[in-house]
């Protein structure tokens, strides 16, 4: 905790996050943050419907850091996913620490 | 080059139609992800970090210019404009949309390509010598037998659900350029009695979590016995393989648990029992396949040695390219030319759509439209007239494709790592880029000499770190990317597995650590001694002392 739910969009595999009104968003900043187990459970229920509705696959919760006022991923793996970046030609555009 | 017949084309069209329906059913909700996943994997489609990844088979690494151009088209139309040569001589596209896959498979089928057997617990794409059919030291073209194995294994009902994936490599030359010692079954074509040819068979090699060098299974197997014998080998594995434990399911574990002698004994019994049942191909069928690989008629094309010598002395880059990227062909007027997708800073093995098209054009002009993918993630033009080398060089240079040099420290093998792969602990690509930038001076890299440096983002070892002279393995150390270094691995003849040098390094320290290791080598080598030879002579200790002294 705090957590955000992430998944891949079924039709194209793009990384998405569960947003405020049950929609899946591309930008982690627009994701809904669950600060406790109860709100995470609510998000998981919404996500379950999206899986059944074939919008996304592979839902899981990630740990985020809120210290600069917006969610940012804690693990390198999730930083890379959130950046939606390709490695070829534009690698230097983005430093991931 | 093997050409599809009507049977092959109909099979592929049926298979693609079937998968199109499966994708539609998945999108319509008639299949759950659990139901769909094994179906998509059978068609080479993985879901990775950012997107679907499609792995396309390039049987034994042989590809035509027409096929390469089509891969360029796929990269441009359905991916982000580039693809990635893999260490199994395949290509992966990393940014694929599920909804596009049926169209992509159709585009592949137009040029007799597919993504079958690039995933799952089946017999995977058979790998081979990228110099096949051209090498000066070749006994017989290994593609003939790689194709025999491919046809036998495709959709083989008994071997579609093996305990684990299964990898074959075939080589037909004196020098092993196919890493046969690190395959489940490695096949080496050898001469037999009275001018016959046969196979020396190896079993139980592999990398991953438990690396093993393959052991000799049979010293000489006559050619006509190949398939029945392989079938017996697979059958004993299928019978005893550990389906209960993912980490113990590969044949290398079984062979080491039973002992190779006992495994061989059981295989021989099974082989004697079943060899008359007809798995082996009739001689005329082998001849039919052999005919596809008949050596091209290469006209004599004596090179203008004066012109070559002048070009060499005027242009040190061309001189280096001739020294390092050109290999002997069996026809003295011809050469094998390597294009290394490895200039410093490039993600190893990545090629853009335009580069694929430019190389395809060069292959048409200079290499009879014939190309090979190497397991070191490069391409090879197998039949270039020496008289054309200057022109080829200039054409490749204009395409930005002469900056990579095979076999030097910058010719890094790297898996996609944590930039793409769901199983990764750490990134491989930026480490490769940082190291190749560090050794970017080509003159210095050449002074260092032959040095294979391989990087994997996790213990699955797709980046062959176990067999790098220097190997780098990404590990997760309390949530941060760390890298463990091994020394002394070798994939070819005289194969060996690298030994871990000591504690791991954070990413930012890896280039200096490599520099340090290279420094120890340079200070210790005798005249003309390559890195691996020095390491084998002096052992790990001096490297260890120099590397960890400051820590
Ligand atoms: S070695 Fe690991 S990280 Fe690299 S591609 Fe293979 S599974 Fe992925």
Q: What are the tens digits of pLDDT across the range A63-72? A: 999 998 999 9
Q: What's the total number of domains in chain B?
A: 4
B270 and B174 within one domain: yes
Write down the H helix ranges in B132-282.
142-153, 226-240, 251-258, 260-274
Chosen domain end from B234, B265, B291: B291
Beta bridge partners of A63: A3
A58 CB neighbours in chain B (<8 A) are: 33, 47
Q: What's the total number of domains in chain A?
A: 1
* Ligand 1 atom closest to B416 (CA): 5
Distance (Å, whole) CA B438 – CA A91:
17
- How does DSSP assign B412-461, residue by residue? -EE--GGGT-TT-SS-SHHHHHHHHHHT--HHHHHHH----EEEESSTT-
**Residue minimizing CA distance to atom 2 of ligand 1:** B458
B431 and B382 within one domain: no
Residue ranges making up the domain that contains B41: 6-109
- At B80-129, the pLDDT tens digits run 999 999 999 999 999 999 999 999 999 999 999 999 989 888 899 999 99
| Category of A13 on φ-ψ map: left (φ > 0), alpha (ψ -120 to 50) or beta | left
Q: What is the mean pLDDT of residues B441-447?
A: 97
Residue A42 is given by DSSP the state H
- The CATH number covering residue B489 comes to 3.30.413.10
Look at the block and give the residue holding tokens 């970090």. Answer: B49
This complex has an ipTM of 0.92
Query: What is the pTM for the complete model shown?
Result: 0.96
B142 and B287 within one domain: yes
Judge whether B472 lies within some domain: yes
| Category of A25 on φ-ψ map: left (φ > 0), alpha (ψ -120 to 50) or beta | beta
Could you tell me the end-to-end alpha-carbon distance of chain A, in angstroms, rounded to an integer? 21
Residue A92 is given by DSSP the state G
Instruction: Using alpha carbons, select from A27, A30, A31 the residue that is nearest to residue A82.
Output: A27
Instruction: Using alpha carbons, select from A48, A49, A6 the residue that is nearest to residue A27.
Output: A6
Look at the block and give the residue holding tokens 């796929």. Answer: B74
Judge whether B455 lies within some domain: yes
B279 and B162 within one domain: yes
* DSSP helix/strand/coil, B384: strand
Q: What is the mean pLDDT of residues A11-31?
A: 95
- At B12-56, the pLDDT tens digits run 999 999 999 999 999 999 999 999 999 999 999 999 999 999 999
Query: Which of A13, A51, A53 is closest, CB to CB, to B47?
Result: A13
Judge whether B128 lies within some domain: no
Enumerate residues lining ligand 1, CB below 6 A.
Answer: B 415-417, 421, 423-424, 456-458, 460-463
Query: CB distance from B427 to chain A under 8 Å?
Result: yes
């Amino acid at each position: 905790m705090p957590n955000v739910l992430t998944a891949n969009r079924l039709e194209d595999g793009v990384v998405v996050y569960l947003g405020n009104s049950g929609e899946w968003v591309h930008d982690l900043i627009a994701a809904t943050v669950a600060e406790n187990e109860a709100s995470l459970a609510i998000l998981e229920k919404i996500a379950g419907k999206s899986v059944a509705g074939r919008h996304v696959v592979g839902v899981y919760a990630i740990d985020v850091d809120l210290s600069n006022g917006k969610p940012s991923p804690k693990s390198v793996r999730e930083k890379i996913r959130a950046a939606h970046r390709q490695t070829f030609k534009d690698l230097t555009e983005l430093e991931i620490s | 080059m093997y050409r599809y017949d009507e049977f092959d084309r109909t099979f592929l069209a049926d298979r693609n139609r079937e998968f199109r329906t499966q994708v539609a059913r998945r999108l319509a909700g008639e299949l759950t992800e659990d139901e769909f996943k094994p179906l998509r994997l059978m068609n080479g489609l993985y879901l990775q970090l950012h997107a679907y990844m499609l792995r396309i088979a390039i049987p034994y690494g042989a590809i035509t210019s027409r096929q390469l151009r089509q891969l360029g088209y796929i990269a441009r139309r359905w991916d982000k404009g580039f693809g990635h040569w893999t260490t199994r001589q395949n290509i992966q596209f990393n940014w694929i949309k599920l909804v596009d896959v049926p169209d992509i498979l159709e585009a592949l089928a137009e040029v007799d390509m597919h993504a079958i057997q690039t995933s799952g617990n089946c017999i995977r794409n058979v790998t081979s010598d990228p110099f096949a059919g051209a090498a000066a030291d070749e006994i017989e073209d290994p593609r003939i037998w790689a194709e025999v194995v491919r046809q036998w294994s495709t959709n083989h009902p008994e071997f579609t659900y093996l305990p684990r994936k299964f990898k074959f490599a075939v080589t037909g030359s004196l020098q092993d350029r196919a890493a046969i010692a690190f395959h489940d079954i490695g096949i080496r074509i050898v001469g037999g009695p009275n001018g016959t040819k046969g196979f020396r068979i190896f079993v139980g090699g592999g990398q991953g979590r438990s690396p093993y060098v393959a052991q000799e299974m049979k010293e000489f197997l006559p050619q006509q016995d190949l398939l029945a014998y392989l079938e017996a080998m697979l059958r004993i594995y299928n019978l005893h393989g550990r389906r209960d434990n993912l980490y113990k399911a590969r044949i290398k574990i079984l062979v080491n648990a039973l002992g190779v002698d006992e495994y061989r004994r059981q295989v021989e019994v099974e082989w004697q029992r079943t060899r008359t049942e007809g798995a082996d191909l009739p001689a005329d069928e082998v001849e039919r396949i052999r005919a596809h690989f008949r050596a091209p008629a290469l006209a004599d094309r004596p090179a203008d040695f004066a012109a070559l010598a002048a070009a060499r002395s005027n242009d040190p880059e061309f001189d280096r390219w001739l020294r390092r990227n050109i290999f002997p062909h069996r026809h003295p007027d011809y050469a094998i030319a390597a294009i290394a997708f490895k200039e410093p800073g490039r993600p190893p093995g990545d090629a853009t759509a335009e580069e694929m098209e430019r190389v395809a054009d060069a292959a048409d002009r200079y290499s009879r439209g014939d190309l090979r993918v190497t397991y070191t993630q490069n391409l090879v033009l197998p039949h270039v007239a020496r008289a054309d080398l200057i022109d080829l060089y200039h054409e490749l240079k204009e395409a930005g494709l002469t900056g990579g040099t095979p076999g030097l420290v910058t010719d890094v093998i790297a898996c996609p790592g944590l930039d793409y792969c769901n199983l990764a602990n750490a990134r491989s690509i930026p480490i490769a880029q940082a190291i190749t930038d560090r050794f970017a001076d080509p003159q210095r890299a050449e002074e260092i000499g032959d040095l294979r440096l391989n990087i994997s983002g996790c213990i699955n070892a797709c980046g062959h770190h176990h067999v790098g002279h220097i190997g780098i393995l990404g590990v997760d150390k309390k949530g941060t990317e760390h890298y463990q270094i091994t020394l002394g691995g070798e994939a070819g003849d005289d194969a060996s597995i690298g030994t871990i040098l000591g504690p791991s390094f954070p990413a930012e320290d890896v280039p200096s650590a490599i520099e340090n290791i290279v420094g120890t080598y340079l200070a210790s080598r005798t005249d003309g001694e390559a890195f691996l030879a020095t390491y084998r002579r002096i052992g790990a200790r001096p490297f260890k002392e120099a590397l960890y002294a400051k820590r």
